[in-house]
Amino acid sequence: MDKKLNTKKTEESSENNANVEEILKNATLEPPRSAFNQFLISKLNSPNEKGIKNKNDIKRQHKLLTQQWEQMEYEQKKEYFLLYEEEKKRYKNNVKVVKRYLFPDYNKNITFVPTPFYGFLYEELKYGLETNMYPDLIEKEARKKWLRMSKEEKNKYKDISTNNSWLIASRNIRVITPLTLYIQKVIHESIKEKKKKPTETDIKIGWNKLSKVKKATFELYAQKINEDREKLRDLYNIVHGAKPKKPVGAYRMFLQEKAKNKEIKSINQGLELWKKLSEDQKEEYLKKSHKRILAYKYQEMIYNKKIKKIIPKKPKSVFQQFLKEKKGIKAPNDQNWHKYWKNVFDKLSPSEKAKYEDKFSKAKKEYDKEMMKFQNKVFDFPKKPISSYTFYVREKLPILKQKINNSSIISITKKIAEEWNNLSEKEIKHYQQMSNTERKRYSEQLKEFLKYGYYTKTEFKTMKDGEWYNKSHKKKSNTLEKFSDIKRSGSKPRNGKKK
């Protein structure tokens, strides 16, 4: 009976997963294009306008189309506004879909807190590998066990949960392989039974003796732990408003997997294997990469919203300072309000304009100060501390490279390792002090980040008068060049190489 129930549950879960994958496949988080951009795309992709070759042609065409847009009436523009509203609805629905299926905990406004239960569950998944049960069923059983446990027993898993949470919270998650889980299991059993710790050869022999079924269980649990870590890492980034890391595409993901399993030694070998894959196998990698891209775009959206609230506002120009005073005063004879006051402002004498110029200069100085503070804030997890050995390697690598030109990096690093092992305690202390300062820096920055959502840099940037204002008022690139639909002969691709 139990086996039948388990098979039914697994079939239902597989059907649900298939439906979710189909829903996410159609979802995209590209922001909606405005009515004017819809008009530009429709005109530039028309058969009459496909002969655009140079940037000058695009600029000329852009000017003509903007003039045409300004002269058009609302009834002519109506279809483009409707297209924009349709895209807006589509975008909002896709955001809801991504929230619902990829970040369900965030949808319920639950922030991840490292409770002792996570430590207990981590241990159950790690050491309960002998049974052929699915990870979902282990979670249910773990929850039942947790309810029966006393407070003293629960508090034992506090440290494990906090340590596991920092692994989740860190940007670069250490991927757990089936072999690492097997090693952890063997070491745990040797400690329990009070035996000698197994050597590398013993572990290799034990792993090779395992049956295919047992190896498959290790692979399944490793996959489950890695997926949970990735989900929690993304949640942690959203809660703290950290800058998300751009995901890898389907082909790069395939190469990384093969390189970790030591199936390929070069990119050319990986390319040959990729070509040999069937369409169904390629689709699996494409689905995984699409999910990661959706999660990344959703995190980026929240990150940008957070920064928009914090970023200091630009100061109003001299003319805008003048307009601020004239707010509420109507223009005579129903004239265009903006154009009328522009003409009045142009006719003012330099002594009359000086009042507004002073207001602008004061606002600009305040903006520069605030921007300076903002620029020295980092809205991301701080970099991990450097060890004493890495400090030593950084010091010795350039010196040995100059001495030995022909030798490979592997042979140089081996020599550095030998030198490190032969160092005295006094010599090592110097590098240990450097690593200790790094650890202090990391702990202080991490506390600040978890409290405020940012940390201040140790090395502050210098700034000249009006630097941030001049940077922000630079000319922006033409909007037409952003559209990938326009094809231009003789143009360069994004990587800078000619076709």
In terms of Cα–Cα distance, which of 467, 464, 395 is closest to 427?
395
Question: What pLDDT does residue 496 have?
Answer: 41
Question: What pLDDT does residue 384 have?
Answer: 80
Question: What pLDDT does residue 222 have?
Answer: 83
CB 290 within 8 Å of CB 342: no
Q: How many CA within 13 A on the CB side of residue 47?
A: 0
pLDDT along the chain (499 residues), means of 10: 42 52 74 87 68 62 84 85 87 80 57 65 62 61 84 80 52 67 81 78 86 85 78 67 80 85 83 90 87 84 79 87 86 82 89 90 87 81 84 86 74 86 88 88 80 73 50 43 36 39
CB 460 within 8 Å of CB 410: no
The topology (CATH level 3) of 388-456 is DNA Binding (I), subunit A (1.10.30)
In angstroms, rounded to a whole number, what is the distance separating the alpha carbons of residues 72 and 75? 8
In terms of Cα–Cα distance, which of 394, 444, 380 is closest to 172?
380
Write the DSSP string, 312-359: PPPPP-HHHHHHHHTTTPPPGGG--HHHHHHHHHHHS-HHHHHHHHHH
DSSP-derived 3-state class of residue 235: helix
CB 194 within 8 Å of CB 201: no
Question: What pLDDT does residue 7 have?
Answer: 44
Start-to-end CA distance of the chain, whole Å, equals: 64
Give the number of other Cβ atoms within 10 Å of residue 38's Cβ: 20
Name the one residue in this structure whose structure tokens are 């299991």.
185
In terms of Cα–Cα distance, which of 457, 31, 452, 101 is closest to 242?
452
* H or E segment to which residue 455 belongs: strand 455-456
CB 311 within 8 Å of CB 319: no
